Amino acid sequence: MKIGIVGGTGDIGEGMAMRLSPVFDVIVGSREQDKAETTCTMTRDMLKKRGKDCSLAGVSNQQAVDDADVVILAIPFRHLEMTLASLHGFEGKTIISPVNPMEKHEFFTFVPPADGSAALMVRRLLPKSAHICSAFNTIAANRWKALDEELEYSVPVCGDDESAKHDVMGIVNRISKLQAFDAGPLAVSCMVESLTPLVLNIARYNKMKDVGIQFR
Amino acid sequence: MKIGIVGGTGDIGEGMAMRLSPVFDVIVGSREQDKAETTCTMTRDMLKKRGKDCSLAGVSNQQAVDDADVVILAIPFRHLEMTLASLHGFEGKTIISPVNPMEKHEFFTFVPPADGSAALMVRRLLPKSAHICSAFNTIAANRWKALDEELEYSVPVCGDDESAKHDVMGIVNRISKLQAFDAGPLAVSCMVESLTPLVLNIARYNKMKDVGIQFR
């Protein structure tokens, strides 16, 4: 399965490439292909030191969409609409939104768009045949990148296409010790996206380094 | 410390009385004092069988407010406004809202009032000197009542008065294996209240009996 990461040279995108590329064919997209290639070289080196092979290619964001079966939108919310407007070819693909619309002032708040959530905004902006799922929302960039530590977190996954959601849950379950949970249709993705400002506040107010979530 | 439970004969309220009364002086309030007394007798018997002493009194909702230092609003959201309008004497007390404004259709959705959350609505409806905290939102009635099982969950607590929040976190931490986390000011209680429809959906879609949350 080929997984494309739009925004693959951002903090989250780089971390995802590190964890996903030993398991899947990963296509790292960036606005600048040079940066994508640099990320791939660095990731290959890091994994090699740990004795791990990987499958990585550094390309443009558009190429990452074109070449992938599953596209992860590793983009901050404020760039989401503009980035999607600059890309095409999402028809029939499975799209993962880990995007959390939030603001930081004195503390973090969940500030969804009029659609109700980032995932629902993605659904409005992409072709109807694209299968949108929200997943990976609560995993921080530095957790993705801490390759010597397992990711022992629960990952709620929302989506309206059962087959696409099944695939996404399968991807989640193959990464470290992540455990996917079906959290329902895309309509309730706001409840997943608001977990991230919640855990960021909990980390802050309880002086914790990172806070993850487990459902049990 | 005297803890009053408004709605103490409801499903959640009864469960809270069972867990709290071996540790604190618990005043079970109800619209009908008879029902409150019946709940206390039943709870005393259940705890006695397990070799536990408890401190319980069954009274009216108003008496539960009057006699308590800390008042828990164990009321469904749809009855919250009417119940608070029928009571008085909240001045200077610490108020715990475990209330989750949600609706169930095909799945559970978070449907907050115009205030943004049930806790913020409580703040608007009660006197300014009442210290509102949200806590216990995600613990289901049958978990409260399963006295032979530990409650190994994380409990996010929101509130604007640091001293009241500290007291509430102290109460949480004395019940079973619950662990309190400061989740910030009352302004972000919407992010706590929306956890409950999320975990109810996860339970439903993953065929789990109960789903609790742990932050780690």
B185: closest chain A residue by CA = A107
Chain A residues in contact with B204 by the CB 8 A cut-off are 184
A207 touches B at CB < 8 Å: no
Amino acid identity of residue A155, one-letter, is: V
Residue B62 CA to residue A190 CA, distance in Å, equals: 37
Residues A208/B156, Cβ–Cβ less than 8 Å:
no
Determine how many CB atoms are found less than 10 A away from the CB of residue A83: 16
Amino acid identity of residue B59, one-letter, is: V
- For chain B, the distance separating the N- and C-terminal CA atoms, rounded to the nearest angstrom, is 30
Question: Cβ contacts of residue B136 below 8 Å, gap of 6+?
Answer: B16, B72, B96, B98, B155, B172
- Helix (H/G/I), strand (E/B), else coil: B144: helix
A193: closest chain B residue by CA = B191
Maximum Cα–Cα distance for chain B, whole Å? Answer: 47
Residue pLDDT tens, chain B, 216 long: 999 999 999 999 999 999 999 999 999 999 999 999 999 999 999 999 999 999 999 999 999 999 999 999 999 999 999 999 999 999 999 999 999 999 999 999 999 999 999 999 999 999 999 999 999 999 999 999 999 999 999 999 999 999 999 999 999 999 999 999 999 999 999 999 999 999 999 999 999 988 999 999
Select the residue of A110, A206, A215 nearest B213 (Cβ to Cβ): A215
B194 touches A at CB < 8 Å: yes
Token pair listed for A125? 């902006």
Beta bridge partners of residue A110, listed in sequence order: A102
How far from the centroid of its chain's Cα atoms is residue A177's Cα?
Answer: 16
Residue B95 CA to residue A193 CA, distance in Å, equals: 28
Q: For position A210, what pLDDT does the model report?
A: 87
Smallest CA–CA distance, residue B36 to chain A, in Å, is 33
Chain B residues in contact with A182 by the CB 8 A cut-off are 202, 205-206
Tell me what the mean pLDDT of segment A125-141 comes to. Answer: 97
Residue A10 CA to residue A29 CA, distance in Å, equals: 10
> Which site among A198, A209, A211, A216 would you substitute to test the B interface, given the most B Cβ atoms closer than 10 Å to its Cβ?
A198
A140 touches B at CB < 8 Å: no
Tell me what the mean pLDDT of segment A92-97 comes to. Answer: 98
Residues A3/A68, Cβ–Cβ less than 8 Å:
yes
Token pair listed for B214? 């742990």
Select the residue of A152, A206, A214 nearest B181 (Cβ to Cβ): A206
Q: What CATH topology corresponds to A2-205? A: Rossmann fold (3.40.50)
- Eight-state DSSP code of residue A105: S
pLDDT band at A170 (very low <50, low <70, confident <90, very high): very high
Per-residue pLDDT tens over the stretch A182-197: 999 999 999 999 999 9
- Among B135, B127, B134, which residue's Cα sits nearest to residue B93? B127
Chain A residues in contact with B202 by the CB 8 A cut-off are 156, 181-184, 215
- Helix (H/G/I), strand (E/B), else coil: A8: coil
Smallest CA–CA distance, residue B95 to chain A, in Å, is 21
Q: For position B210, what pLDDT does the model report?
A: 87
Contact assignment for B156 to A198 by CB distance below 8 Å: yes
Determine how many CB atoms are found less than 10 A away from the CB of residue B114: 7
Q: For position A53, what pLDDT does the model report?
A: 96
Beta bridge partners of residue A103, listed in sequence order: A109
B182 touches A at CB < 8 Å: yes
Instruction: Flag whether the pTM goes above 0.90.
Output: yes
Per-residue pLDDT tens over the stretch A97-121: 999 999 999 999 999 999 999 999 9
Share of chain A above pLDDT 90, in %: 99
Chain B residues in contact with A108 by the CB 8 A cut-off are 188
Question: Of chain B residues 108-137, which have a CB less than 8 A from chain A?
Answer: 108-110
B188 touches A at CB < 8 Å: yes
CA distances from A167 to A92, A95, A170 (A): 14, 11, 5
Query: How many inter-chain contacts (A to B, CB under 8 Å) are there?
Result: 96
Contact assignment for B215 to A199 by CB distance below 8 Å: yes
Contact assignment for A191 to B195 by CB distance below 8 Å: yes
Chain A residues in contact with B190 by the CB 8 A cut-off are 110, 194
Angle at A132 between CA A129 and CA A134, to 5 degrees: 175
- Helix (H/G/I), strand (E/B), else coil: B60: strand
CA distances from A96 to A24, A126, A134, B29 (A): 15, 12, 5, 48
For chain B, domain boundaries = 2-205
Place of tokens 């709605």: B7
Determine how many CB atoms are found less than 10 A away from the CB of residue B64: 28
Residues B60/B34, Cβ–Cβ less than 8 Å:
no
Residues A139/A72, Cβ–Cβ less than 8 Å:
no
Helix then strand then coil, % of chain B, to nearest 5: 40, 25, 35
Residue A32 has pLDDT above 90, yes or no: yes
A92 touches B at CB < 8 Å: no
CA within 13 Å, CB half, A73: 34
Smallest CA–CA distance, residue A156 to chain B, in Å, is 8
Amino acid identity of residue A209, one-letter, is: K
